[in-house]
Amino acid sequence: MGIKTAKCLDCFSLIETPHTNPDVPEPKILGISASAHSGYKKYSTPPENLDGNSVKVNYEDGWPINHALDTTDKAGTFQDLIMWEQMTEDARRALNSVSFGKANTPMNDGNFRSKLDKAWPF
């Protein structure tokens, strides 16, 4: 998966909803939302194509009109989860201040909460 244009930055969000109760001995994914240029595909019951406790995700490029994330049954590689706090100050500043044109990047202070609310799968 690679970024071909800055326009793709607005679609890279995937929300997994695991149990957050520490008393649950084996937490599992309860819901998934994958973003697309036109909104979110929401799964309140996880699709069958999980790999243990990981979601298999595919980036689809319908150039020039659409690009999207969705679940897939295809094998792939694991991607590291990078937390906001793990990024350098320069990286966070860039995501918060650099203009990506019409792209509405979800991973910055100004957009994260509203994107998370829109993606809620329940």
Centroid of chain to Cα 36: 10
pLDDT in tens, 69-109: 888 888 888 888 888 899 999 999 999 998 878 777 788 89
Kindly provide the residue ranges of all beta strands, DSSP E only, lying in 1-122, ordered along the sequence: 14-18, 29-36, 39-43, 50-51, 54-55, 57-62, 66-71
* Token pair 């240029």: residue: 37
Amino acid (1-letter code) at residue 86: Q
Query: Is 83 a member of any domain?
Result: yes
Rg of the chain over Cα atoms, rounded to whole angstroms, equals 15
Q: Which of 53-57, 63-67, 117-121 has the lowest mean pLDDT?
A: 63-67
Query: Is 1 a member of any domain?
Result: no
16 three-class SS: strand
Alpha carbons 8 and 121: distance in angstroms, whole number: 22
Query: Is 67 a member of any domain?
Result: yes
The pairing of strands 29-36 and 39-43 is: antiparallel
Provide the whole-model pTM: 0.70
Residue 80 structural domain = 6-119
Q: Residue 3: CB partners within 8 Å, gap ≥ 6?
A: 9
How many structural domains comprise the chain? 1
* Cβ atoms of residues 78 and 53 within 8 Å: no
pLDDT in tens, 25-43: 777 788 888 888 778 888 8
Q: Given this model, what pLDDT does residue 6 score?
A: 37
Query: Is 40 a member of any domain?
Result: yes
